[in-house]
Structure 1
Amino acid sequence: MTNLILATDSYKHSHFLQYPPEARAMSAYIEARPNDFADEVLFMGLQPYLMDHLARPITAADIDEAEAICAAHGVPFNREGWQIILDEHRGYLPIEIRALPEGMIVPTGVPMVQVETTDPRLPWLATFIETVLLRAIWYPTTVATLSRQCRLIIRAGLEKTSEDVEGQLPFKLHDFGARGTSSGESAGLGGMAHLVNFMGTDTMEGLIAARRYYGADMAGFSIPAAEHSTMTSWGREREEKAYAQMLDAFDGEGKVVAVVSDSYDLDAALTGIWGGTLREKVLARKGTLVVRPDSGDPVETPVRAVKTLWEAFGGTVNAKGYRVLDPHVRVIQGDGMTPVTIARLIDRLIEEGFAIDNIAFGMGGGLLQQVNRDTLRFAMKANAMRDAEGVWHDVAKAPATDPGKASKAGRQAVIAEACRLVARRVDDVDESNDLLRPVWRNGAMLVRHSFDELRARAA
């Protein structure tokens, strides 16, 4: 999937024949329209698109392949236009992309990206790239926004109950979603997006993506952890020995090990093994045991686990009046976690008098896969056309059947107004105040963000 000419919808190959004859340039923008999921989004994902797609010039072989496929497929092919790009632009698309800084928190309805063509013979290019550009942005932005919502919920719980909010927060939501994604690329982009908000992950493709695209040496961390296959391989009669092996194999100062404990009977494991036969062994360790329930009610089961561990191991009451388990034991709940169930679980722990220090959360496919373009109502729309006289004309849609799909007319600028980002027409603002800054022009990358910058803006 490396031929940029074919990285589009079939019908877009006919669009060069559809624009008015006086068209010399087109402008189009990308936004998340107002939706029921989030009022603001965490923008990211443009830089990987620039590096993986636009930084690779098209070749004569690409043109030949695309021409053959379009002919057989039944759609027109603009051989002349693509030949201009190859011969006169060294294979790079003659476009300019302006964008907000990645990592920025953007209200819905505010453009994040604006594309404008720069060769008057090729005005159709601005919207031709919609398919792959929109896909490159909506997915990581949506995952980052979902992850951020969880972060805000968890932060609120920590602020109410914990004495170490900033120390606890980065590792409170762990990404287990790699196996639930549709591809390795999705795991990389989605896993990377989550790491803007947190530092816990088992999605190794996300680490590679953060390193490759944003220069992060190591963006996330994990710990040794058991799964059902390793625990059940010992057989039910040796469940205690399986747990003891985990304690012995991963002991050490400050080390943490997670053990799934419901392969057979969670309550029996909590009372009879962890809080019974292995209690002294747990307390003698230098590290922390994290007990993981993996079935049952996603709220009440981990609450019961925390209460049972308190009865077995005790702990302290912090300055805010909430109970914190002995540092040798903690709980992680990864099964059935969503923003809604995380919030419910936090509320229940608080009701029971426990600090959120006692628990971490995990998400899998719900974090990286159960999202789509309509989650945040992403769209890319043309907003202006320049004619042969150099005059820009407004372009917009205003469907009577759905006013919510009306698009913005005129080239857009984004400014900070009363501590909030708002969209304005370019002609109505001072250019120096426009936060949509050029990041790509005619094959040249003008801005490169680091992962630390994304995290700082998002925070």
Structure 2
Amino acid sequence: MQNAQGFSDLASILSNPILNTDSYKASHFLQYPPDASAMFSYIESRGGRYERTLFFGLQMLLKEYLSRPITGAMIEQARAFFSAHGEPFNEAGWRYVVQQYGGYLPVRIRAVPEGTIVPTHNVLVTVECDDPRVFWLASYLETMLMRVWYPITVATQSWHLRQTIRAYLLKSSDDLSQLPFKLHDFGARGVSSAESAAIGGAAHLVSFMGSDTVLGVIAANHYYHDSMAAFSVPAAEHSTITSWGREREVDAYRNMIARFGKPGGIVSVVSDSYDLFAALNAWGGELKQAVLDSGGTLVVRPDSGDPCTIVLHTLRSLEASFGSKTNSKGRRVLDHVRVIQGDGVNPDSIVAILAAMDEAGFAADNIVFGMGGALLQQINRDTQRFAMKCSAIRLGDTWHDVSKDPVTDHGKRSMKGRLTLLRHRRTGKYRTVTLPIVCDERTVAGEWDEALATVFDAGRLLVDASLAEIRGRAYADEV
């Protein structure tokens, strides 16, 4: 059944780029100077929680929303909506896009390669339209393109957490190969939508390879050409334990080992459904031989209580039962068992737990973190203070700089001019400059390279990176 605006289902709205915007954008074509003929906009992180961002996710947005043409049916949908909604509608402009460009938007988008680590306050993406009939497209797309803040912020947080965990592995472990599996994505149920799970879950996988967010793994596979971007293991939840009843809790644990314990395998068992301390006694007592005979690794999940206190208690209890070995760093690594902490995990608690473990003489090998809401949901556009702004407009044949500088908040000052990003070939330093690039003592040939590449032009996706390439860039500085 269609409504008054002709929409038969939500999917038709989500696939219509004309409607993937803010209401007020519909009237903006009437607000620019009458001689405006081209527009240039850019995206940056204006600072925030982290001083460097990992660029990721634009390729998903371009493939999903801009790589299909505008159609007459989409224009009719949008005209019906905006006329009822109280906004003017530039029907002539959109029909021009269909007639002149086959429905593909005549915008040029340039961006840093995905996986690149860039200091804040630098241009990451530029959007330009130089067709005088539809120059306003460079700003109309802001609503959709600005959503790149989300995968960038998730990827940035995960990358910084990777650096934190890596530092503790370097200090306490003999095995760096486990790093990609030390932070597991538990976030699917805590996000606002299936699309958020897909986009945010994929962003996490730039830095890690463990996830229970199925849609995130599928998105990474689909949009970034990976056969399998992440992995998981059989794991118990409270329902699979409590369904046995408290009196048969040990039978539930024994069933997990019988079903999933195998040489080289991993099985994760939540153990606090009733009494974590009694469960630890059972694991180290009547269930110990079953764990040893399985040839696999048991991962115990304490799921409540103060994270630092509970993790240390769990490690000490398991060590007393299963033993440990001291590695070359002088830290102890448990035999046959590990711990996964999935409750109260955030950037601060990860640091606190790893520090407490190190002080107690335990290697970082002994723990894996499962991160949910703090990974995919407890962030917003202001976490890294993302903005997309118009920085130049062409009036007639002449480009003019455009910027904002509110007297009430100079932190919202925007950059001006047609912008690009340069990277110093020797030092790797970045700096944002205006076009055309003026050669001086700082930009002599051979020292600075263009860091932006054209990734999209009039409906054509020009860069289609693989997850392997992106991971390679993100890890480039790891020794």
TM-score category of the 2 structures, normalised to the smaller one:
over 0.9
Alignment pair present for 1:151 and 2:162 = yes
Which of 380, 399, 412 is 1:405 aligned to? 412
Mapping 1:390-429, distance limit 5 Å: 391-417=398-424, 418-429=427-438
Q: Which residue of 2 aligns with 1:360?
A: 368
Letter in 2 for 1:128: Y
Q: Which residue of 1 aligns with 2:253?
A: 243
CA offset at residue 251 of structure 1?
2.1
Alignment pair present for 1:211 and 2:221 = yes
Does the 8 A contact of 1:262 with 1:269 survive in 2? yes
Deviations 1:80-126 (CA, angstroms, capped at 9, x unpaired)? 10110011110011110011101111111111100000312111110
Letter in 2 for 1:405: K
Alignment pair present for 1:337 and 2:339 = no
Does the 8 A contact of 1:42 with 1:105 survive in 2? yes
The 1-side partners of 2:119 and 2:141 are apart by 24
The 2-side partners of 1:411 and 1:140 are apart by 25
The 2-side partners of 1:46 and 1:419 are apart by 23
Letter in 1 for 2:21: T
Q: Which residue of 1 aligns with 2:74?
A: 62
Say how many residue pairs are matched.
453
Letter in 1 for 2:245: G
Deviations 1:45-94 (CA, angstroms, capped at 9, x unpaired)? 11111111111111111111111111111111111101100111100111
Which of 279, 284, 289 is 1:269 aligned to? 279
Q: Which residue of 1 aligns with 2:306?
A: 297
Alignment pair present for 1:28 and 2:53 = no
Deviations 1:289-333 (CA, angstroms, capped at 9, x unpaired)? 00000001111101110011111111110011001101x111000
Deviations 1:192-226 (CA, angstroms, capped at 9, x unpaired)? 00011000000110111011111111000000000
Does the 8 A contact of 1:153 with 1:339 survive in 2? no
Q: CA RMSD in A?
A: 1.1
Alignment pair present for 1:180 and 2:187 = no
The 2-side partners of 1:359 and 1:333 are apart by 7
The 1-side partners of 2:75 and 2:339 are apart by 56
Letter in 2 for 1:358: N
Does the 8 A contact of 1:25 with 1:119 survive in 2? yes
CA offset at residue 18 of structure 1?
0.9
Identity %: 55
Letter in 2 for 1:437: A
The 2-side partners of 1:171 and 1:29 are apart by 35
The 1-side partners of 2:196 and 2:438 are apart by 38
The 2-side partners of 1:419 and 1:87 are apart by 45
Q: Which residue of 2 aligns with 1:439?
A: 455
Letter in 2 for 1:6: L
Letter in 2 for 1:204: V
Structure 1: runs of 5 or more not aligned: none
Does the 8 A contact of 1:47 with 1:448 survive in 2? yes
Which of 142, 145, 158 is 1:133 aligned to? 145
Alignment pair present for 1:223 and 2:236 = no
TM-score normalised to the size of structure 2?
0.93
Q: Which residue of 1 aligns with 2:175?
A: 164
Structure 2: runs of 5 or more not aligned: 1-13, 440-444
TM-score normalised to the size of structure 1?
0.97
Does the 8 A contact of 2:104 with 2:459 survive in 1? yes
Deviations 1:198-257 (CA, angstroms, capped at 9, x unpaired)? 000001101110111111110000000000000011111111111111111112221000
> Helix, strand or coil for the counterpart of 1:267?
helix
Alignment pair present for 1:234 and 2:247 = no
The 2-side partners of 1:65 and 1:279 are apart by 65
The 2-side partners of 1:414 and 1:88 are apart by 32
CA offset at residue 429 of structure 1?
4.9
> Helix, strand or coil for the counterpart of 1:102?
coil
The 2-side partners of 1:75 and 1:69 are apart by 9
The 1-side partners of 2:452 and 2:38 are apart by 18
Mapping 1:101-140, distance limit 5 Å: 101-135=113-147, 137-140=148-151
The 1-side partners of 2:411 and 2:55 are apart by 21
The 2-side partners of 1:442 and 1:260 are apart by 52
CA offset at residue 34 of structure 1?
1.4
> Helix, strand or coil for the counterpart of 1:428?
coil
The 2-side partners of 1:302 and 1:120 are apart by 62
Q: Which residue of 1 aligns with 2:202?
A: 192
The 2-side partners of 1:429 and 1:307 are apart by 63
Does the 8 A contact of 1:413 with 1:429 survive in 2? no
Does the 8 A contact of 2:261 with 2:291 survive in 1? no
Q: Which residue of 2 aligns with 1:18?
A: 31
The 1-side partners of 2:472 and 2:428 are apart by 17
